[in-house]
Amino acid sequence: MDKNPIELVSLRKEYGRFTAVDGLSLGIRRNSFTGLLGPNGAGKSTTLKMMTNLIRPTSGQVFIHGYNVTEEPKEALAGVGTVIETPEFYGYMTPRENLRYIGEIIGMTPESISAQSDEILEKVRMTGWADKRMSTFSKGMRQRIAFGQALLGDPEIIILDEPTSGLDPRGMAEMRSIMKEFRGNSKELTVMMSSHILHEVQDLCDRVAMVNCGKLVFNDDISAVNSMAGLQTMVLKTEDVSEEFVRDRLRSLSNVVTVDSDGTDTLVRFRGSRSKLFTDIAGLGIGAYSLSEGDSLETKYLEIIKESR
């Protein structure tokens, strides 16, 4: 029961001399939300495509529910919802017809397809477009339907490749809100998503896996990202003093490791207590008027990617 629902074993994909994925082994825990991060060309999409039987591994295996995806795709992909890249739909069909087609393929009854389609279309704010042919839909509208079709049949596993790509800011927020809703539900659901938007991963995921040059370079709880090197990041805003003066004064603090400035904000990386840092900065006389938590995932991501090059 506690066995990982997704297991990647020594996964490798070569295109001629280029190795897109290089011996990747990764277990995705049951009921976890795992973010897959990595720079462009790191092998994220290739990995997700091998997980969904769109491409075959050169060597290694992907197991979903204990079934090898390449050898037993029908068994492995049962109960799996996917959005890979920005898929296209059958333009001659309406969203409702597209959902019915996918629902039939995965073996849902006409009644449950009908009931769940209405619910999903409402959830992705596409009810008003439910009966219009999709050939004229914008990328954002298609992405909403793509996300919706992944939810059909109440999947136990959802695999998402940049799920908010192509959506406007409101659409992104709505998709995140739907996913958070799922995380809050007690039902069985394991999600693996790749994203370039780090705060989206920080916001939604409880686990993070980082890949670079096709290799797994980090895989842990997202909370471990902050504590791994014991470094934290805060963003400081000051007024009426020079940048140089601020930097010099901050560097004089014993718990501060690095100080960087981008012209408006100062990024302070430090060890130890945040309240102590706050008290220390207040006593520096550098015109500090704001101290907020920095994006630790971004900091950690950049560090790990830099180290693994």
Partner 1 sequence: MMFKLSDMRGDAMQTVIVARNEILKFLRSKKFLMFGVLVAVLLVLTTFLPYALGDSISGSAGNVFSRYIGYASLLVLLGATLFASYTIVSEFEERTALILFTRPIRRSTVFLGKFAACFALTAVVMVVYYLVAVAVAFAVSGSFVSSSLSSLSMCLAYVFATTGVAMLISSLMRKGGSSAVLTFITILLLVSVVSAVLSMAGTDTWFMLDSASNAISNSVPEYVSGMNDMVGEMGTSLGVSVEGALVETADCVRSGGVMMAWGAATLALSYLVFSRREF
The residues that touch partner 1, with contacts defined as CB under 8 A, are 49, 52-56, 73-80, 82, 84-93, 98, 101-102, 104-107, 146, 149, 159
What's the closest the beta carbon of residue 167 comes to partner 1, in angstroms?
Answer: 17
Phi (first) and psi of residue 291, to 5 degrees: -135, 115
Measured between its terminal Cα atoms, the distance across the chain in Å is: 37
What's the closest the beta carbon of residue 105 comes to partner 1, in angstroms?
Answer: 5
Phi (first) and psi of residue 10, to 5 degrees: 45, 45
- The strand pair at 266-270 and 256-261 is best described as antiparallel
What's the closest the beta carbon of residue 107 comes to partner 1, in angstroms?
Answer: 7
**By C-beta, is 55 or 175 nearer to partner 1?**
55
Q: Say which residue the tokens 């140089």 belong to.
A: 244
**By C-beta, is 107 or 184 nearer to partner 1?**
107
- Decide: 146 and 164 in contact? Cβ < 8 Å: no
User: What's the distance, CA 158 to chain centroid?
Assistant: 12
What's the closest the beta carbon of residue 141 comes to partner 1, in angstroms?
Answer: 15
- Decide: 152 and 81 in contact? Cβ < 8 Å: yes
What's the closest the beta carbon of residue 236 comes to partner 1, in angstroms?
Answer: 45
- The strand pair at 190-194 and 157-161 is best described as parallel
Q: Say which residue the tokens 């959802």 belong to.
A: 158
**By C-beta, is 16 or 263 nearer to partner 1?**
16
**By C-beta, is 108 or 234 nearer to partner 1?**
108
What 3 state SS string does 283-303 have? Answer: CCCCCEEEEEECCHHHHHHHH
Residue among 165, 155, 225, 164 nearest 191 (CA): 155
Helix (H) or strand (E) holding 97: helix 95-105
**By C-beta, is 11 or 288 nearer to partner 1?**
11
Helix (H) or strand (E) holding 145: helix 139-150
What's the closest the beta carbon of residue 178 comes to partner 1, in angstroms?
Answer: 19
**By C-beta, is 152 or 304 nearer to partner 1?**
152
> What's 54's DSSP letter?
S
The Cα 139–Cα 141 span in angstroms is 5
Residue among 70, 67, 19, 9 nearest 46 (CA): 19
**By C-beta, is 68 or 219 nearer to partner 1?**
68
The Cα 137–Cα 134 span in angstroms is 5
What's the closest the beta carbon of residue 93 comes to partner 1, in angstroms?
Answer: 7
What's the closest the beta carbon of residue 34 comes to partner 1, in angstroms?
Answer: 18
**By C-beta, is 111 or 262 nearer to partner 1?**
111
